Structure 1
Amino acid sequence: MVDPLSVSAVTGVLSAMSASMATEAGKAVYESFGGVVRRAFGREVPAPRGAQERAALAALIVERLRQEPEQAQALAVWMGAAGAMGRSPGHGAPALLPPSTRFFTDRAKQLAALQREAARKPDGRARIAMLVGPELIGTTALAVHFGHRETERFPDGQLYADLRGGALGSAPEPAVVLRYFLSRLGVPDAQLPATLEDRVDLYRTLLADRSLLVVLDHAQSAGQVQPLITTAPGVFLVVIARRPLTGLDAVPIEVGPLPERDAKRLLVEVAGKQAVAAARATLPSVLERCAGSPFALRAAARHLTAVPPRHGGGSTAADPVRTVIADRYREFDPQLAAFYRRNALRPWPSVSADSAAVAAGVPHAQAARMLAELTVLGLLEETGSGRYRYRPAARKHAEQEALRTEGAAAGAAATAALVEWYLHVAVRADHRALPKRWHVGPLFEQLGQGPYEDEGKALAALGEEMGNLLEAVRAAEDLGDPDTVCQLVEALWAWQLKVGHVDVLLPALRAGARAAGRLRDLDPRMVARMHTQLAHGLMESQLYEEAETQLRAAGDAARATGRPLGRATAVESLGLLRLRQWRFQDALCCFEEADRVLDGIAEDDPDAKELPRARALLERHRGRARRGLGDLTHADELLSGALAFFRSADGGEQYNAARTLTDLAETRLLAGRPAEALALIDEAAVILTEEKAETHLVHLEALRRRCREPQR
C-alpha cells in the first residue's frame, strides 16, 4: 500500500499519471484524480503542469490529508491502484543497431578514439564522441561496427536512431526520438510522458545504472542531441554528423577517405585477389576516381577492368559518391531511369511497390523488381517489410535529373498524383478505423471504408504509412493545395484519437490549421475541423493556452457555417479541455451549452443523422463532469443513458460503449457499489480485449484493484 502522507509518494503518482496522459486511459485516470483532489479540498484545484507544480500540489495534498484521516485512507486505496498501473517501467534490453557491414576495413585510429572515450573514468561529464565525415564515407558503418564489437562493454543493449527521419518522420524532434527510445527500453505506451521535460527525466532515470550504447545517426544540430545526453557513467553516446555540431561538448573524431593501402584491401575483400590482380592496368585510375570512398570502391569492384567514362569539367575525384551514382544512372534503360527519378521527387520516408507503381506509372510487379534492382546497386536501402528508402545522395541526384529531364511542372504533377493516392489510402483506412464519426471531406462518402478485416487492421495500415502521410501533408502544402492538406489531416483523426503519438502528428496538425486559414471563405466547416483537431493535439501535449486559442478559432469558424453540429463540437471540445484542467464546473457548462446548440438542428438538416450520437457523447461527458463535482447520482444517470445508446442497434459503437462502461464503473465505485463496478469492468474488458486497446485494459485493472480493496 502506498503511504498517502508521503510527499514523494504523491508526487510519484502525479508524475506517473502525467506520463500516461498520451493515451485515453491515462487521461481518464488523471481526470479521476482531479475529482479526488476536489473532494479533498472541497473546491476545484488547477491541474498541475510540470515537475514543480506537481511537487507543490503534492505538498498541499499531504498537508490537507493530515487533517483528514478518513480521506487519507481513501486516497491510499486510490493511489495503490493508480501506482500499480505505473510500476516497473523500462526493463527492456534494446538491440537497435543495424547489421554491421561486410568487409569492414581498417579505421583503427577512429576505433581507438571511440574506445578511449567509452572507457574514460566517470567524472560527471557525459561520454560523447562525434563522428564527422561526408556522406557514405563510412561514419555509420564505423559506429555500428564498434557497437557490435563492444557488446560486452554494453550488456544493457544499444539504442539507435536515424535523425534524418524514416520511421520517426523527417528530422524528428527530440520528443519523438525519446518516445521511441523509451518504448524500446520497455516503457509501455500508457506510461510514456506527454512533455519533453518529463520524457528527458524518465530517460535519464532509466539509464542511470545501465551500461548502454546510444547512436544518433545523421544529426543536424546540437539541439537534436542535447535532450538525449545523460551523465550516467555506463552510457556512451556516439553522434554521427556531416559537419561538426556547434555547442556539443563531444570528442570529435574525423572520418575521412580510406588510405590507398586500405582502399586496395577493401577491393580485394569485395572483388577477390584474382580480379584485382587482373585489373593492374586500370587499378590506379579506379583508386583515383574512388578517392578513398568505401561506397565508390564497393561499386567499382564490380567492373575493375572497365575503362572509366570521361566527364567534363574538373576532377572526377572531387565527389566520388556522385560520380558513382551518375555512372550507374547512365547505364539505366529509359524506363528504369524514369522510375528512379519519379520516386525521388520528395523525401518519402519509405517507398513501397504500391506507391512506386503510382509514381512511375508502371505495374506493381515491375515496380517491385525495379526497387530491388536499385537496392542491389546501392542507391536505395531496404527498411523492412518490402519498403525501401533512397540514400540521400541518390535521392538528390535523382531529383536534379528529374528537374533537368522533365521540368518542374511535370515533377509537381507527378507529386500531386502520388499525394492524391496517399490521400485515398488515408481516407479509406481512417473511415474503417473509426466508422461512426461525422466527416467533412467529401472523399469519405465517395470512397467508403477500406478493405480491412477490422478497425485494428485499418489502424495498423495507417501506422505503416504514417511517415509518408505526414510527408504528403508537407508536399500538398508546398504545392499550394490547402484543400488536400486539410483532407489529409482530417484522415489522421482515428490514429490521433486511438493511438496518440501526437508529437509526430503536431507538424501536420499545424499545417492543417495554416491551410484552414486559406480556406476560411470557402469551407468554414473544414476550418472548424482543422482548428479543433489541432486543439486536441495541443491538449495531449499539455499546451492548454494554445489549445484554447485554437478552440476559440474553431468556434468562430463553426458559427460562420450556420450549422449547429460544428459549433457544438467546438464547445464540446472546450469542455474536454476544462476536464483536463480539473475545471469540472466550467466543463459541465460547456457540455450543457453544446447540448443546447444541438437543439438548433432541424429534422431536415443534413446533420440530423449525427444528432443521436452527438447527444450520447455529450451525455457521457456531462456524466464525467458531474462525477468530478461529486454529484454521483446525476453522473450515474447520464452515463447510463449514454451507455444505452452505444449498446443499441442504432448506436452500435463497441469502443465508446467500453469507455462509457469504464466511466460508469468508476462512478459506482465512488458511490460505494464495488460489486456493480466489477461487473461493468468485466464487460468493458471483453470489448477492449477484442479492440486490442491495451492501455484501456491497464486502467481497468487498476479500477479492479480498487474495487477489491476493503471499503471504509
Structure 2
Amino acid sequence: MSKETRQAALHRALRAKAGQPVLFGDLVRAVWGDEAPARPLPALRTLVRRLRRSVDDEIVTDASGYRLVVRAPGPAQLPADLPDFVGREDELTALSTSTSAVLAITGPPGVGKTALAVKLAHRIRDRFPDGQLHVDLRGFAVGPAVGLDQALGRFLRALGVPPANVPPGRDEQIALYRSKLRGRKVLVLLDNATELSPLVPGVEGCTAIVTSRNELPGQTGLAVLADDEAGALLDRMGVDGSPDDRAELIRLCAHLPLALRIAGAHLADRHLPDYLDELRGDGRLDALEIEGDAAVRAAFALSHKALPDDARHLFGLLSVHPGADFDVEDTAALADLSIEDAARLLDVLVGAGLVQRAEEQFVLHDLIRLFASEQAGEEAQQALHRLLSYYTATASQAAEILVPAMTQLQRPALAVPGRRFATAVQARGWLDAKRAVLVAAVQVAPHPFACHLADALRGYLNNNGYRPEQRVVLAAGLASARSAGDRAGETAMLNGTGQLHWRLGAFAEALRFYDAAVELAASDLMKGTLLSNAGLVKRDMGDFAGALADLERARRLSRSHPALHVNVVLNLGTVHGVRAELRKAAAHFEEAWRLAERHASPGSVAAAREGLGVALIELGRYEEARPHLESALAGYREVGRSKPNLLVNLADLTAAAGRDEEARTWALRCLELAQETGDTRVQVEALIRLGDQGPAVALAEAINYPLGRRRAQLVLARTDPGLAEELLRDVRDSGDLLLESRALLALAEATADPDRAREALDTAKAREQAGVVAEVEAFLAAQPPANGGSTSS
C-alpha cells in the first residue's frame, strides 16, 4: 500500500467510529491487514502523525487507541442577505467571477458598498465550505473603530482558538490566524476598512471582500445607481407615480441607494407629488461636505419631520450609543423608557427606514447616525450617562456573581440600576453578548464611567482570555483616572494591568505595575488585594520567600474583608503546596474552606476543597481526599465554572487507589472538557494520565508549559538514563520541590541504582509524600541483594 492509501484507510477506520476510541490493534488491522509491520505501534503512531497534518478532524490519543473528533462546522458570520437588493449586476458578475484573493469595493458613503458586499458574499459563499468571517471595522464611524487586535481575536475565536490561547503579540496572532486558515476555504468580509490590513488572509483558497471609502488596490469603485437600477429599487419598494415624478425623485435623491431607501420608507403612506414638493425645498441644499450627503440629508429631514414627537426624540438620542448595534434594553436605558415603549418606538424608526433591524439587534448607518447626532440636543450627554450607568451597574452585578473574590472600586451613584442575574450562566451570557459594545463604551465614556466600567469588566475578560479587549479597556480606564486625578481609579487600573501582564507571563512587568499601585493604594482592602496578587506572581517566578512575605502582609490587611481574606488564605495554601510543605498547605485550605462556608461563598468553598483534596493525595490520604474533590466538582458546577483540571486530580486519586479503569474514565472526560474549553495545560495533564507521554511533551513544549513537560518526561525517563539525569537537573534548577523525589526515583529506575532510590526515599519522607514513599519502597524491595545474595561466614 502507498502512504496515501494507508492514511485513507486509517482515516476511514477512525471516522467509522467517530467520537469513540478505536483500539490500536483494530487500527493496525484496518491499515495493514495481515501484513502488519514488525513494530506496529510505532508505525501506527507515525501514520497518525502524518494524518493529523493532512486532515482537519482532530485525532485524540486514548489509553488503548485513537479517537477521531470530527471538526465542527466553520464559522457562519455573514449578515443576512438583502431581500430588496437590486442592480449592480455588472459589478456582481465581475466580482463573483474574479480570481483575485481580495475583492475591494470602494465608493462614497451611502452608495451601497456594504449592500453589494453582502450580496456578493452570499452569491459566492458556496465556494467556501469552511466558513465565512465578518467584521464591521467601523473605520469611518462616529464611535471607536474596531482595532486590529480585537478583530484578530474575534476571528481566532470563531476559528476554534479558545480566548486563553490567543497569543499576546500581534505578529503571533497574525501567524496563528493564517495557520488556522491554511488548507481551508474561508470567505472573509471586512466592512468599512481604512486599508488592506493583515486581516486579509493572504492564504491560498481564502478570499477577502473589503469595503472602504478610501481607494484600495484593485478596487471596484461604485458610482451612484443608474436610472434603471434606481427605478428597479423604487419598484421593489412599491413606490408608485408618474415616470416624471419617479425620475425627479431619483434625481433629488442623487441616485443614492441609502437616500432612495429612506424616501421609499417615507412614501409608504404618502403621495409622491406631495413628497417631491417638500424634497425640492431649500433644506435639501443644507449639505455636509461629503459627496452625496445633500440627498441623504433631504430624505432624512423629511422622514424625521414626519415622525411622532417621541420617536423623533428617541432617534436623536440613539446617536450617542457607542456600539455598532443596540437592543431594546439598551434603548430603554438610554432614553429613560419602559421596555414596551422602547420596542414600540424602534418599530416606528425601522418602518421609517432610519433604523435597520438585525434579528434582536438594531443598527444605524454611519451617515444616519451622524445626522441623528445633530438632533440629539442638550439631552445627549444625559442619555449617554444613563446608558453608561446601566452598563456599569449591570457589569458590576455580573462580576459579583462570576468573580466574587475580585475587589471592585466603590461604585459611584448611578442613574440607572442595571440588570440583575439569577445565575452565573445568565451573567456570563449577558457579558458574552455585550462584550464588543462594552469595550467600545469604555473607550468613549467620560470619567468616572470609563474607569468603573473597565474595573467591572476586567475579571471577566481576564478569566476568559480576552486579552486584546482587556488591554483596550484597561488603557482607557487608566487614562481616564489619571486625567481626572482619581487615585483610587488609577490604583484599580494599575492592578488590572498588572494582572494582564501576569497572565501573559511578563512577571517583571506585572510586579512593576503592582508596586506602583501599592504606592497609590489608600485602603487596606486595595493594598491587601495588590499584595496577594504580587505574591502569586512571585510564586510563579519561584520566589517562594517573597511570595509568602507578600501574602502574609495581605492576610493581616484583609481580616476585615471576608472575600479577600478567603482568597489570600487559599493563595497561601498554593505557595506552601509548591514548596512541598504539604501539611501547611492542607491547613491553609482547611481554614479557607471554613471561612468561605461562613461567608456563603460557594465558588471559594469549591476552590478550598479542591486544594485540600490535592494536598491529601500528595500526603497519601486517598480516602480522605475523595469527598473533597467530589464536593469541589459539585460546587464548581453550581456556580457555572468549568474546571477540567479537577478531573485530572480525580484521575490521579482513583489511579493511586488502584482503580485504573475509573482513572482512565476520569482522564478521558478531562481531555474532552479541556479540549472544549481550550485549556491546553490540562490537556497535557490528561494525556499524561492516559499514558500518551510523547504527545504530552510535544504539546507542553508548544505552549511553553515546563511543569507539564517535566511531569510527562518522568515516565519516559524511567527507561532513559540520559533523560533522567537531565530531568533531575531541570527539576532542581526550577525549584519544583514536589517533583524532586519523583525525578530521583525515575533516575534510580533508569540506572537500577538503589542509592538514588534511597535518596528519593529520604526526600519523599522529608516532604511527607506518602505515595512516592510507597513507590520507592516497592522499587527497593524488588532489587536483588548485594553480591548476588551470597553470605559470608
Give the Cα–Cα distance (whole angstroms) in 2 for the partners of residues 484 and 593 of structure 1. 31
1:472–1:444: structure 2 CA closer, same or farther, 3 Å change rule? same
Say if 2:87 is the partner of 1:106: yes
Give the Cα–Cα distance (whole angstroms) in 1 for the partners of residues 367 and 442 of structure 2. 24
One-letter code aligned to 1:496: L
> Could you state the TM-score of these two structures normalised by the residue count of structure 1?
0.73
Decide which of 591, 598, 602 is 1:650's aligned counterpart. Answer: 598
Say if 2:305 is the partner of 1:357: no
Residue number in structure 2 paired with 1:269: 236
- Look up the SS of the partner of 2:135 in the other structure: strand
Residue number in structure 1 paired with 2:552: 595
One-letter code aligned to 1:163: L
Give the Cα–Cα distance (whole angstroms) in 2 for the partners of residues 571 and 265 of structure 1. 68
1:81–1:635: structure 2 CA closer, same or farther, 3 Å change rule? farther
Residue number in structure 1 paired with 2:36: none
Instruction: Map residues 145-160 of structure 1 onto 2, 5 A cutoff.
Output: 145-160=119-134
Give the Cα–Cα distance (whole angstroms) in 2 for the partners of residues 691 and 133 of structure 1. 51
Q: What is the CA deviation profile of residues 338-380 of structure 1, one whole-angstrom value per residue up to 9, with x for unaligned ones?
A: 1111221343443333332343344432221111111222222
Give the Cα–Cα distance (whole angstroms) in 2 for the partners of residues 221 and 664 of structure 1. 55
Q: Is the 8 A contact 1:490 1:530 kept in 2?
A: yes
1:597–1:681: structure 2 CA closer, same or farther, 3 Å change rule? closer
List alignment gaps of at least 5 residues for structure 1.
1-78, 121-126, 602-606
Q: Is the 8 A contact 2:569 2:592 kept in 1?
A: no
Instruction: Map residues 473-492 of structure 1 onto 2, 5 A cutoff.
Output: 473-477=442-446, 481=447, 483-492=448-457
Q: Is the 8 A contact 2:404 2:563 kept in 1?
A: no
One-letter code aligned to 2:570: R
Give the Cα–Cα distance (whole angstroms) in 2 for the partners of residues 311 and 588 of structure 1. 80
CA RMSD for the aligned pairs? 3.8
Post-superposition shift, 1:110? 2.2
Q: Is the 8 A contact 1:617 1:642 kept in 2?
A: no
Residue number in structure 1 paired with 2:201: 230
Say if 2:220 is the partner of 1:253: yes
1:574–1:92: structure 2 CA closer, same or farther, 3 Å change rule? farther
Residue number in structure 2 paired with 1:431: 400
- Look up the SS of the partner of 1:104 in the other structure: coil
Give the Cα–Cα distance (whole angstroms) in 2 for the partners of residues 674 and 238 of structure 1. 59
Residue number in structure 2 paired with 1:622: 572
Q: What is the CA deviation profile of residues 127-161 of structure 1, one whole-angstrom value per residue up to 9, with x for unaligned ones?
A: 11211122232212222222222233212221111
- Look up the SS of the partner of 2:244 in the other structure: coil
Decide which of 500, 517, 527 is 2:482's aligned counterpart. Answer: 517
Post-superposition shift, 1:642? 5.2
Say if 2:487 is the partner of 1:530: no
Post-superposition shift, 1:231? 3.0
> Could you state the TM-score of these two structures normalised by the residue count of structure 2?
0.66
Residue number in structure 2 paired with 1:414: 383
Q: Is the 8 A contact 1:674 1:707 kept in 2?
A: no
- Look up the SS of the partner of 2:126 in the other structure: coil
List alignment gaps of at least 5 residues for structure 2.
1-59, 645-672, 693-714, 716-745, 747-793
Question: How many residues end up aligned between the 2 structures?
Answer: 586
Say if 2:59 is the partner of 1:96: no
Instruction: Map residues 239-638 of structure 1 onto 2, 5 A cutoff.
Output: 239-245=210-216, 250-271=217-238, 275=240, 278-301=241-264, 302=267, 304-306=272-274, 307-309=276-278, 310-312=280-282, 314=285, 319-385=294-360, 387-402=361-376, 406-407=377-378, 410-435=379-404, 437-442=406-411, 451-477=420-446, 481=447, 483-518=448-483, 520=485, 524-542=487-505, 544=507, 546-558=509-521, 561=522, 563-579=523-539, 582-585=540-543, 588-599=545-556, 601=557, 608-610=559-561, 613-629=563-579, 631=580, 633=582, 636-637=585-586
1:529–1:362: structure 2 CA closer, same or farther, 3 Å change rule? closer
Residue number in structure 2 paired with 1:204: 178
One-letter code aligned to 2:207: F
Post-superposition shift, 1:472? 4.1
- Look up the SS of the partner of 1:149 in the other structure: helix
Post-superposition shift, 1:203? 1.9
One-letter code aligned to 1:311: G
Instruction: Map residues 129-140 of structure 1 onto 2, 5 A cutoff.
Output: 129-140=103-114
Give the Cα–Cα distance (whole angstroms) in 2 for the partners of residues 176 and 89 of structure 1. 28
- Look up the SS of the partner of 2:229 in the other structure: helix
One-letter code aligned to 1:96: Q
Post-superposition shift, 1:323? 2.4
Q: Is the 8 A contact 2:191 2:212 kept in 1?
A: yes
- Look up the SS of the partner of 2:211 in the other structure: strand
Give the Cα–Cα distance (whole angstroms) in 2 for the partners of residues 81 and 617 of structure 1. 36
1:542–1:114: structure 2 CA closer, same or farther, 3 Å change rule? farther
Q: Tell which deviates more after alignment, 499-508 or 281-290.
A: 499-508
Give the Cα–Cα distance (whole angstroms) in 2 for the partners of residues 174 and 505 of structure 1. 14
Give the Cα–Cα distance (whole angstroms) in 1 for the partners of residues 211 and 392 of structure 2. 35
- Look up the SS of the partner of 2:549 in the other structure: helix
Give the Cα–Cα distance (whole angstroms) in 2 for the partners of residues 217 and 650 of structure 1. 53
Q: What is the CA deviation profile of residues 506-529 of structure 1, one whole-angstrom value per residue up to 9, with x for unaligned ones?
A: 222122222333565xx6444422
Instruction: Map residues 657-672 of structure 1 onto 2, 5 A cutoff.
Output: 657-663=605-611
Post-superposition shift, 1:235? 0.3
Identity %: 22
Give the Cα–Cα distance (whole angstroms) in 2 for the partners of residues 189 and 524 of structure 1. 31
- Look up the SS of the partner of 1:164 in the other structure: coil
